[in-house]
Amino acid sequence: MISCNSNGTAIPAGRTIWFSSVFKLQTGPQPVTVYFRNQTIDFDAVYDSITTHYVYNVPDAAVTFDPSVPAIPTTTFDTGTNTRVTLMQPGLSGDQYRSGFELVVPPTLGQIKNPVTWKGQFLGSDPGGAVNWSWHAAVYTSFSTDYNALGVAPTDDTVKGNSHHAGTPENYTCCAVGGATGGGSANYTGSKCSSKSVPLVTPTTPSTWGRVKTIYR
């Protein structure tokens, strides 16, 4: 679990908050697949002097490190299982993209109060591994509800000939503005929260993981 403060910038209804999380594989055998499940983002928000607690479920993710996969990392969203699937070779520098969630701000959300918390379960296909992870959030005036249309950067290592951070929605960099943990302009992911190291445990029957749906509460 990592709690982080937003910068207090008011976010008008209709804009999208892009939450993205990143990590580094610290130890463990390779090839290995790292799974992220039961992820939630939660916070309080005040609208019309009423405070409401919101919980949003984040789609599952599976990141595979394998020396036999192509040199250029890839990340796609499997709509059938509601899972972000990322493939890359081990040993890349910087952060790797883990998972993301887009929140289209509803008219009655109001002002988000600090802190905002992201938590979830970390699993590995082989025991003995660990990851160091963090998250950030940026605001966009235009965005897509199709996760595969975002063009998410899978790693800090350059893929499109730029220095954008992992988690950058490359196809919408035109539209970043200030808010959440970001300052707009070229701050496409927002500023990164504090990081945390967690051990990986071996999953049981990952093929049976069900779909995760977004909820408002």
pTM for the whole structure: 0.91
What confidence category does residue 125 fall into, taking pLDDT thresholds of 50, 70 and 90? confident
149: helix, coil or strand?
helix
What is the predicted pLDDT for the residue at 162? 79
176 CB-contact burial (10 Å; exposed 0-12 / middle 13-18 / buried 19+): buried
> 């009655």: which residue's tokens?
108
Residue 211 located in a structural domain: no
Average pLDDT, the chain: 90
Mean pLDDT of 133-162: 91
Residue 209 located in a structural domain: no
Residue 52 located in a structural domain: yes
What is the predicted pLDDT for the residue at 177? 97
Stronger pLDDT, 93 or 106, i.e. the higher one: 106
Residue 214 located in a structural domain: no
Residue 111 located in a structural domain: yes
Residue 213 located in a structural domain: no
Domain count, the chain: 1
What is the predicted pLDDT for the residue at 212? 29
Mean pLDDT of 190-202: 93
What is the predicted pLDDT for the residue at 35? 94
Q: Residue 39: is its pLDDT beyond 90?
A: yes
Q: Domain range holding 37?
A: 2-200
What is the predicted pLDDT for the residue at 159? 65
Q: How far apart are CA 139 and CA 141, in angstroms?
A: 7
Percent of the chain with pLDDT over 90: 78
What confidence category does residue 208 fall into, taking pLDDT thresholds of 50, 70 and 90? very low
Residue 216 located in a structural domain: no
Residue 37 located in a structural domain: yes
Q: Residue 85: is its pLDDT beyond 50?
A: yes
Nearest to 16 by CA among 56, 48, 61, 53: 56
What is the predicted pLDDT for the residue at 216? 29
**How big is the CA angle at 86 (ends 70 and 15), to the nearest 5 degrees?**
130
Stronger pLDDT, 93 or 46, i.e. the higher one: 46
